[in-house]
Amino acid sequence: MKRLAHLALVAIALPVSDGVAAQTYPARPIRAIVAFVPGGATDIMARQVGQKMSESMGQQVIVDNRPGGSGIIAATLAKQAPADGYTLFFGTISTLATNVATLPKLPYDPTTDYAPITLTSSNPYVVIHPAVAAATLREFIALARSKPGQLNFASSGTGGGAHLAAEMFRSMAKLDMVHVPYKGAAPSLMELIAGQVHMTMSQPGVMLPHARSGKLKVLAVTSLKRLASWPEAPPVAEAGLPGFEASSWQGVVAPAKTPAAIIGRLHAEVVKALRSPEVEKRLRAEGSEIGGIAPEEFGRYIQTEIAKWSRVVKEANLKIE
């Protein structure tokens, strides 16, 4: 009798295989952690994708907004969650790449603390200026070179993706320009429209409405190909700086060691959501490039982005407190 009891205890203690876990998954709601306040681009992405996943998977995907600390609060919370497929992290270029380059003693490692699921979208930055006497990017570069230290560029915050993209542009073009950081995209946009700054890089969804109204001028886009939403603007790589490419991006990860079968299911569901007519229409209208790459490819992409932006920070000798 004692031996039978021991055998029963052993049977209860055996782990459930990935396959069995995937067959019963999901059995309860899934939490989607977002590092920003409601209403922002990442929050909207999480809610739209989450809604489609809820409809498809039969369990609600609940968005959990945890803003603050340059995304560290949300990223750490996701890192510490059980690796069971019930916690997702909608990360960004900042939380999964540039934070490594700009913030010392980061309490998480994007390459080891998470299981990549997929890239959801990428948004090339738009190079724009209101009234500088340059009709093309080449002319702007020539003008800036002729006036070292006299032209400036705005960003939505020191160390952010748009700031680092502009620093890479400045470095590759060999320009002496002054960085003017703002606390967010809105104030930097207003100052640009007012002509207080000469250039900035920001996402198409934010800037193109003002360009269409004539308040701003689009010189180039930072993607490797033209945007369907603004086809007349050439890529920076074609317009004066061969090899230049920079994009803001978003993606989904789960805590490290989440079972591979569940990661595969989540990947399929996120891609299905991205391909839905409603989500795809919104992303196209914003000038976004729709993601959906395999988990392994997304993992390699994160590593490449970390290396690229770490190099930019070092070459620009940026000191970010």
* Confidence check: pLDDT of 14 > 80: no
What's the mean pLDDT in 280-294?
A: 90
Residue with the larger pLDDT of the pair 96 and 37: 96
* Confidence check: pLDDT of 12 > 70: no
The answer to whether 18 and 260 have CB atoms below 8 angstroms apart is yes
Q: Which of 55-59, 162-166, 181-185, 205-209 has the highest mean pLDDT?
A: 55-59
pLDDT at residue 321, as a whole number: 61
Quote the mean pLDDT of the chain.
90
pLDDT at residue 18, as a whole number: 56
The answer to whether 42 and 250 have CB atoms below 8 angstroms apart is yes
pLDDT at residue 21, as a whole number: 59
pTM: 0.85
pLDDT band at 146 (very low <50, low <70, confident <90, very high): very high
**Structure-derived torsion over alpha carbons of residues 257, 259, 261, 265, reported in degrees to the nearest 10:** -80
Residue found by looking up tokens 């029963």 in the block: 8
pLDDT at residue 6, as a whole number: 42
* Confidence check: pLDDT of 293 > 80: yes
Domains of the chain: 29-123+248-315 (3.40.190.150), 130-239 (3.40.190.10)
Q: What is the pLDDT of residues 246-261, one digit of tens each?
A: 999 999 999 999 999 9
pLDDT at residue 147, as a whole number: 96
What percentage of the chain reaches a pLDDT higher than 70? 93
Helix (H, G, I), strand (E, B) or coil at 194: coil
pLDDT band at 217 (very low <50, low <70, confident <90, very high): very high
* Confidence check: pLDDT of 153 > 80: yes
pLDDT band at 213 (very low <50, low <70, confident <90, very high): very high
d(CA 313, CA 161): 11
Q: For the chain, how are helix, strand and coil distributed in percent, rounded to 5?
A: 45, 20, 35
What's the mean pLDDT in 156-173?
A: 91
pLDDT at residue 180, as a whole number: 95
**Based on the number of CB atoms within 10 Å of its own CB, is 156 exposed (0-12), middle (13-18) or buried (19 or more)?**
buried
pLDDT at residue 9, as a whole number: 41
Q: Return the sign of the alpha-carbon dihedral for residues 308, 309, 311, 312.
A: positive
**Structure-derived torsion over alpha carbons of residues 173, 178, 184, 187, reported in degrees to the nearest 10:** -120
